[in-house]
């Protein structure tokens, strides 16, 4: 979540750097990277929706 708090649309490199010290790379972590991208999209969408509701 810290990555998404500071970067709304993280790149693949941003995500890899953020998780590099936390998970084992021997099994791959494509699903984790995909989940982070999805979370970023959803968080951005809910911020946009909230702004429209307040307008």
Q: Residue 1: what pLDDT? A: 82
For residue 43, CA distances in Å to 1, 25, 35 come to: 10, 26, 12
Q: Where are the alpha helices (DSSP H) in the chain?
A: 2-6, 12-19, 30-54
pTM above threshold 0.75: no
52/38 Cα distance (integer angstroms): 21
Q: Return the ∠ at Cα 51 (arms to 40 and 14), rounded to 5°.
A: 20
Q: Residue 51: what pLDDT? A: 61
Query: Domain ranges in the chain?
Result: 2-54
Mean pLDDT per 10-residue run, the chain (55 residues)? 90 88 72 91 77 60
| Residue where the block lists tokens 């941003």 | 14
């Amino acid at each position: 979540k810290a990555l998404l708090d500071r970067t709304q649309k993280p790149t693949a490199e941003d995500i890899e750097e953020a998780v590099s010290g936390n998970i084992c790379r021997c099994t791959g972590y494509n699903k984790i990277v995909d989940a982070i991208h999805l979370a970023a999209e959803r968080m951005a969408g809910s911020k946009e929706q909230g702004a429209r509701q307040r307008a």
